[in-house]
Amino acid sequence: MGVRLMVVDDHRLLAEALASALKLRGHRVLAAAAPAAGAAELVITRAPEVCLIGTATPAEPGIFDPVVKIKKERPQVAVLVLGPVPNPRGIAAAFAAGASGYVRHDERIEGVERAIMKARAGEAAVAPQLLQGAFSELLNPAAQPDDEGQRLLQMLTPREVEVLVRVADGEDTRLIAAGMGIAPSTARTHVQRVLMKLGVGSRLEAAALAARTGLLDRAGPVTLSSADLPQDPRHTP
């Protein structure tokens, strides 16, 4: 028995070509749509058994938002992602969004059809080794080698991290020196080293980079030195 399908891809010609091939194999194609980003509403309205969604950038943040929306509104619709040669991150992102499988763009029509049948039956339509890599990615998302914030944090000494946090808080050299109990010249040297290691030319750029990469969140709160602690007025000279 044929499957009620929708085919969605940013490249309309690809969507229509795949739709035609599936029709010839006895499947009922409700629509072949483009672009993928705007097709969620159509899928929700038509409610196919399986929806094939094409993407050229499976690891791009937010690329699977339409899948999330479809699964939220029509959880019974099985979504298959059509993409390039996959990597664990792209596979993981697809499954995390609610997809039932991942099929390569260069897969033969027989392979696409097998994936469709698996997805309709509620099975994971992806090669076992790819699925294993995807689950590893989901379970250990922090172990990515391209985590820029973590990489930058490892370049700095604990003292330099404290300096960066204080710079991001808007402290000037005098306040940094007082807060850390060091000479202004030493504080200035620390700031210059931080800027050099981060590859930026100003304190503002350093603060922006730290915020953008999440470095400040990883750094944690600044430990107050004795200069930051309130003084007993009885011992104030």
Q: With bands split at pLDDT 50, 70 and 90, how would you rate the model's confidence at 139? A: low
Match 């503002």 to its residue by tokens.
204
pLDDT at residue 220 is higher than 80: no
Cα distances from 11 to residues 35, 56, 57, in angstroms, run 7, 10, 13
CA distance 237 to 230: 14
Long-range contacts of 55-62 (CB under 8 A, 24+ apart): 55/10, 55/81, 55/82, 55/83, 56/10, 56/83, 56/84, 58/83, 58/84, 58/86, 58/87, 58/89, 58/90, 58/91, 58/93, 58/94, 58/102, 59/87, 59/89, 59/90, 59/93
Alpha-carbon span 36 to 34, nearest angstrom: 5
Beta-ladder partners of 4: 28
- The pLDDT tens digits of the residues spanning 71-128 come to 999 999 999 998 886 667 777 788 888 999 998 887 889 999 999 999 999 998 887 7
Q: What is the pLDDT of residues 166-196, one digit of tens each?
A: 998 889 999 999 999 999 999 999 999 999 9
Strand 78-83 relative to strand 101-104, pairing: parallel
Asked if residue 235 has pLDDT above 70, the reply is no
Q: How far apart are CA 180 and CA 184, in angstroms?
A: 10
Tokens for 181? 């109990």
